[in-house]
Amino acid sequence: MPSYKAGRMAEDIRRIVFGKMRELKDPRIGGGEQLTVTRCEVSNDGSYCKVYVSGFGGEKQTADAVKGLTSATGIFKREISNVLGLRKCPDLKFIADLSGESSQRIFDKLKTISRELDEKDAAEQPDDDKRS
């Protein structure tokens, strides 16, 4: 369980990375317009940080964006150190977060099941009216 300080640092790092992402010119990132930082996890000693990134363009585009963000790690570390006033910035590891896509698939399946149940109930409804 992360400490209070690690949680605050994770939120600050998330904001800094999200803001700096928009300024990068790497075509793999695409200006950060299609990307969002879903969450950050900082270790208790503050030496490592996992940054989870999600994109709207699919798995391949998100994986390419992670490669671009990984190559720009030095820029992010410098900005984090300057803004937070850290002597030693945590090592950043960018990870593609595909939970949004899996959530969408689950939502679509539930919607389909709900529609089928509604159709089944509608088909049974006239039978109940005839009995009355």
Q: DSSP for 59-125?
A: HHHHHHHHHHHHHTHHHHHHHHHHHHT-SSPPEEEEEE--HHHHHHHHHHHHHHHHHHHHHHHHHHH
Reading the chain (132 residues) residue by residue, the pLDDT tens digits are 557 888 899 999 999 999 998 888 888 887 666 788 999 999 988 899 999 998 887 788 888 889 999 999 999 999 999 999 988 999 999 999 887 767 778 888 888 888 888 888 888 776 555 555
Report the predicted TM-score, pTM, of the whole model to 2 decimal places: 0.73
Residue 93 CB neighbours (<10 A): 14
- Residue owning tokens 């990068």: 24
pLDDT of amino acid 40: 93
Cβ neighbours for 91, distance < 8 A, ≥ 6 positions apart: 47, 48, 49
Residue 52 CB neighbours (<10 A): 19
CA 94 – CA 51 distance, rounded (Å) = 5
Whole-number CA gyration radius for the chain: 22
Do residues 97 and 38 make contact, with C-beta atoms less than 8 angstroms apart?
yes
CA 95 – CA 66 distance, rounded (Å) = 7
